[in-house]
Structure 1
Amino acid sequence: MSLAPGIRLDLRQTQSLVLTPQLQQAIRLLQMSNIELASAVDREVADNPFLQRADRDAGVLAAAGTAEPAPTAAPLPAAAPRPADFSLSVKRAGSPSFDDERTPFEARLTRAKGLREHLAEQVMALLREPRLRDAVLQIVESVEDDGYLREDDATLAARFHLEPAVVSEIRAALQRCEPTGVGARDLAECLALQLKEKNRFDPAMATLIANLPLLAKADFNELMRRCGVDAEDLQDMIAEIKRLDPKPGLTFAPDEPPTVVPDLFVLPTGDGRWRVELNAGTLPRVLVDVDYHAELTRQCALDRRTREYLSERIQSANWLAKALDQRARTMLRVGKAIFARQIPFLEGGAQHLRPLVLRDIAAATGLHESTVSRATSDKYVATPHGTFPLKYFFTTAIPATSGDQAHSAEAIRQMIKRMIDRESPTEVLSDDQIVAALKAKGVMIARRTVAKYRESLGIASSVERRRAKALGR
């Protein structure tokens, strides 16, 4: 006997995580940088009639609409590796200050003239043709920060829709400008321009400039043969080249890079302890206008759709205020946990960084690792040793030789840099020697790791450094 097919209705109980729109918004706000956050809040204020930007000292408002500032203190976690006083408070100043000095008023009214502005004035004075003004500005804008104009004339002419002869004329004028050497296509032309100004570009020097790769290899015998000079003359020529400026554009102030505004400050309290503070100047604050909402909802003539809209807008406003307050609390919580574990860095600098991973801060704060990651993404902290991304303080561990506490990878990088900076011209350290020196300091590290860290610091190999130091003898 077979059962006839039919329709069945079953009930099943399952668990699932649902991200509400409000929770998604809180996650987005936490991950934003301070600049992105300010723009996002401005958009919300423009879109919501019940939101207003608050005064800087009004504090972050809670959902009820009353002033309720972000947390001003929190206890140090019991799991901290060493005792310290971390007073967490909202900093009311808009910029970091580690002393009582203030920038003079006059300094804020002036700025250094940039390289391109300086060159444009000179080229226009040399050519004195209004028809060339736009072309001059285009070509000068293509000059790199080091002073080079590496693109050839044909490429520049095609890019700016100019005649090649016009580009050549502007480059020739540019190469007559100060600082001497700007407008060059490469290093050889840059040095040649400076030597010509000094009336030192004789045939022997021209040959030396044409053979810069041999000079980089310290192949002095071949250079003497090609230049037709003896060893003493060659050393004099090399010394003269070393007095030239290979990057003349850097003598002028470069275009100001985007300013990094810290989200947190870590400040000494004066009694050997440290304080973590929020940068209140970057925290957008909002006011929830509950009175205006109450006044509108008391009107009996409102239809259902209008009342639903007003209800949705007031809920959105309240949630944004809560989310901003929670973001501030989370950042303080994470920042406090980070620097409770990085006190050696605060006291001694980068070479004393301790190994740290997201999991450590998650365990200390009770937050999920993804939350810690978002709280540190695109966030910066001002310390007595400079302003750093919060991610900078998360580094992998390098084991110690004697079973002591592991070393931070960044601290090892700084140790390698110091060793190489201190090496003498006659004793250039190989990677194997650096490995041995680190092992003597209790650091267990492989040669390939030393090479990787050295290359990441932009430091040449021992062979290349030895050649470079030979030119300085």
Structure 2
Amino acid sequence: MSLAPRLDLRQSQSLVMTPQLRQAIKLLQSSNIEVSAFVEEELERNPLLERDEQEHAETEETRREEARREEAPAAASAQQDASTAAASEMLPQEDAAPLDADWSNVYDAGEAPVGRGGRTDFEDGLDGVDDMAAPARNLRDHLAEQVRFAFAGPIERMIAAAFLALVDPAGRLAVSDEEIARRLGCDAALVAAVRARMQRFDPVGMFCHDLAECLAVQLRERNRHDPAMAALLANLPMLARREMRGLQEVCGVDAEDLAEMIAELKRLDPKPGSDFDSAPPPALVPDVLMRRGGDGGWMLELNPETLPRVLVNRGFHARAVVGARSREEKAYLAERFQTASWLVKSLEQRANTILKVAAEIVRRQDGFFRHGVGHLRPLILRDVAEEVAMHESTVSRVTANKSIATPRGTFELKYFFTTAIAGTSGGESHSAEAVRHRIKSLVDAEDAEEVLSDDAIVASLRKEGVDIARRTVAKYREALRIPSSVQRKREKAVPA
């Protein structure tokens, strides 16, 4: 065995991820909002990039032209009325004032006097300051203000501050009164008394250890907490299992009274603190806009409000290259020019790719857009990739983090890709989403006397040509949060 060094020549293939290729892949799988943020950073870094305002200006000019066309008839009518009024004023009138009358100290009683800046109150202050809404307070500030009014002693305020620090956003406390008393070095009875008083704060039901205590506090506030209701709160797991017969025996009430008690519980807030600080959900800005065309088809376009448009300032680049004094400056300009050109090309290619994939999805799911979710067809990435001559990974990146605004609402592009469920006797396959929708429709339409079991749902679907197993129906039912047939039968036995 020789240990001498030697040279070997081998051939191998490898994928080299250049920075430009990484950038193109990142832009392709990002939403329009994320791409806009990235372009803003590039505009700050690259002096050769500039925003394309021409198309936006043309769009605004088109909108203004349409507005002028809509206002033209009204303006013509107003002009005609004004001309008529002017002509009538020029006609001689019996009560007309003399031409040498003094109008300096006369104003029309039907019009309010106007001061500086068009104000009618002759004040120079800022307009609408008193009408501006105060900033919304969060839950802790709201509770802290009530603490200052409810407790005067320093010890009670210290205990209340501890509760404020430990309460979660839903209004629950995970620490017992004894533990808080031990940490603060005070009497546990005083801690319990402070917490009982704070439970009556707005919103009612805060600072409770569990759901039963929270509901009990709200019922006491409404003067609806009696022994039967207390027994119901002590057996909430039975209520979750819809064991209505057992609850009637435990509470000592009949079916009608139990239904009223359950209805009372449903009017309470199980998490009184969750809605106080809840911010409105962020608006889903669609990346693709879809509307019906004149020929009955569909028209697609990228959302111009979020689509970034940039150009390469070639004139500035030419002047900068001529004025460059060193090799480093020329290398910097060349690198910036290449980066800007690649970004513009990547954005254009990204827009074309998104439109191509979205158009194929709309073509295949035409029945959904015309008739609803029951006509959603099974679709996988391979089907679209083969049709648009792209790789499956490219289609996956295109449909990631992107949504489309349709006449039926705004959906993520991933929504239209569902697995297929075979049809009976070799018939046409069905979309899993459409089957889930059909299961929900069957359960919603079932009679209280004839609650459908999973086997009955399977039989009904097979009559409609869907070859589905019972365990698949159970899985879809649980995903839709539909209780079992036994629980639904118990629940419908007592309409609460």
Task: Give yes or no for TM over 0.5.
Answer: yes
1:211 aligns with 2:211: no
Q: Structure 1 residues 28, 313: CA separation in 2 closer, same or farther (over 3 Å shift)?
A: same
Q: Aligned pair count? A: 416
Residue identity in the other structure for 2:55: D
Q: Structure 1 residues 175, 56: CA separation in 2 closer, same or farther (over 3 Å shift)?
A: farther
Q: Structure 1 residues 203, 138: CA separation in 2 closer, same or farther (over 3 Å shift)?
A: closer
**For residues 427 and 187 of structure 2, what CA distance do their matches in structure 1 show?**
67
Q: Structure 1 residues 219, 400: CA separation in 2 closer, same or farther (over 3 Å shift)?
A: closer
Q: Which residue of 2 aligns with 1:243?
A: 264
**For residues 310 and 40 of structure 2, what CA distance do their matches in structure 1 show?**
10
SS in 2 for 1:281: coil
1:334 aligns with 2:332: no
SS in 2 for 1:36: helix
1:283 aligns with 2:281: no
Residue identity in the other structure for 1:149: R
Which segment is superposed worse, 453-462 or 185-194?
A: 185-194
SS in 1 for 2:367: helix
The answer to whether the 8 Å contact 1:205/1:237 transfers is no
Q: Structure 1 residues 211, 269: CA separation in 2 closer, same or farther (over 3 Å shift)?
A: same
Residues 157-180 of structure 1, C-alpha deviations (whole Å, 9 max, x = no match) = 79x999998986775455324554
The answer to whether the 8 Å contact 1:399/1:443 transfers is yes
1:319 aligns with 2:342: yes
1:272 aligns with 2:296: yes
**For residues 483 and 49 of structure 2, what CA distance do their matches in structure 1 show?**
57
**For residues 50 and 344 of structure 2, what CA distance do their matches in structure 1 show?**
11
SS in 2 for 1:57: helix
SS in 2 for 1:52: strand
Residues 171-196 of structure 1, C-alpha deviations (whole Å, 9 max, x = no match) = 54553245544554433123212321
Matches within 5 A, 1:169-180: 172=196, 174-178=198-202, 180=204
Residues 75-116 of structure 1, C-alpha deviations (whole Å, 9 max, x = no match) = xxxxxxxxxxxxxxxxx99xxxxxxxxxxxxxxx999998x7
| Cα distance, 1:291 vs structure 2 | 1.7
Q: Structure 1 residues 222, 355: CA separation in 2 closer, same or farther (over 3 Å shift)?
A: closer
Q: Structure 1 residues 267, 49: CA separation in 2 closer, same or farther (over 3 Å shift)?
A: same
| Cα distance, 1:381 vs structure 2 | 1.2
1:439 aligns with 2:462: yes
**For residues 292 and 318 of structure 1, what CA distance do their matches in structure 2 show?**
14
Q: Structure 1 residues 332, 221: CA separation in 2 closer, same or farther (over 3 Å shift)?
A: closer
**For residues 162 and 44 of structure 1, what CA distance do their matches in structure 2 show?**
59
**For residues 405 and 191 of structure 2, what CA distance do their matches in structure 1 show?**
46
The answer to whether the 8 Å contact 2:215/2:269 transfers is no
Matches within 5 A, 1:149-164: 149=172, 151-152=174-175
The answer to whether the 8 Å contact 1:113/1:253 transfers is no
**For residues 443 and 171 of structure 1, what CA distance do their matches in structure 2 show?**
57
Residue identity in the other structure for 1:277: E
Q: Which residue of 1 aligns with 2:100?
A: none
**For residues 444 and 161 of structure 1, what CA distance do their matches in structure 2 show?**
65
The answer to whether the 8 Å contact 1:334/1:361 transfers is yes
The answer to whether the 8 Å contact 1:181/1:193 transfers is yes
Q: Which residue of 1 aligns with 2:478?
A: 455
The answer to whether the 8 Å contact 1:218/1:470 transfers is no
Identity across aligned pairs (percent)? Answer: 46
1:262 aligns with 2:317: no
Q: Which residue of 2 aligns with 1:298?
A: 322
Among 396, 409, 413, the alignment partner of 1:390 is 413
Q: Which residue of 2 aligns with 1:28?
A: 26
Q: Which residue of 1 aligns with 2:145?
A: 124
Matches within 5 A, 1:70-85: none
The answer to whether the 8 Å contact 1:127/1:173 transfers is no
**For residues 297 and 170 of structure 1, what CA distance do their matches in structure 2 show?**
76
The answer to whether the 8 Å contact 1:267/1:384 transfers is yes
Q: Which has the higher contact order (CA 8 A, sep 6+)?
A: 1
| Cα distance, 1:287 vs structure 2 | 2.6
| Cα distance, 1:440 vs structure 2 | 0.7
**For residues 133 and 281 of structure 2, what CA distance do their matches in structure 1 show?**
14
The answer to whether the 8 Å contact 1:359/1:369 transfers is yes
Residues 131-172 of structure 1, C-alpha deviations (whole Å, 9 max, x = no match) = 96995995598322xxx42534569979x9999989867754
1:350 aligns with 2:348: no
Residues 288-337 of structure 1, C-alpha deviations (whole Å, 9 max, x = no match) = 1222221121126x222221111011110111011011111110010001
Q: Structure 1 residues 254, 210: CA separation in 2 closer, same or farther (over 3 Å shift)?
A: same
**For residues 268 and 390 of structure 1, what CA distance do their matches in structure 2 show?**
18
Residue identity in the other structure for 2:233: I
Which segment is superposed worse, 288-297 or 444-453?
A: 288-297
| Cα distance, 1:118 vs structure 2 | 6.9
SS in 2 for 1:266: strand
Q: Which residue of 1 aligns with 2:128?
A: none
The answer to whether the 8 Å contact 1:48/1:317 transfers is yes
Q: Structure 1 residues 48, 251: CA separation in 2 closer, same or farther (over 3 Å shift)?
A: closer
| TM-score of the aligned structures, taking structure 2 as reference length | 0.72
**For residues 163 and 354 of structure 1, what CA distance do their matches in structure 2 show?**
67
Residue identity in the other structure for 1:275: M
The answer to whether the 8 Å contact 2:310/2:344 transfers is yes
Q: Which residue of 1 aligns with 2:489?
A: 466
Q: Structure 1 residues 359, 169: CA separation in 2 closer, same or farther (over 3 Å shift)?
A: farther
Gaps spanning 5+ residues in structure 2: where? 64-130
**For residues 466 and 454 of structure 1, what CA distance do their matches in structure 2 show?**
15
**For residues 291 and 23 of structure 2, what CA distance do their matches in structure 1 show?**
31
1:143 aligns with 2:180: no
Residue identity in the other structure for 1:26: A
Gaps spanning 5+ residues in structure 1: where? 60-66, 70-91, 94-108
Residue identity in the other structure for 2:168: S
**For residues 336 and 185 of structure 2, what CA distance do their matches in structure 1 show?**
56
Which segment is superposed worse, 317-326 or 213-222?
A: 213-222
Which has the larger Rg? 2
**For residues 384 and 338 of structure 1, what CA distance do their matches in structure 2 show?**
15
| Cα distance, 1:386 vs structure 2 | 1.9
Which segment is superposed worse, 21-30 or 203-212?
A: 203-212
Residue identity in the other structure for 1:142: D
SS in 1 for 2:323: coil
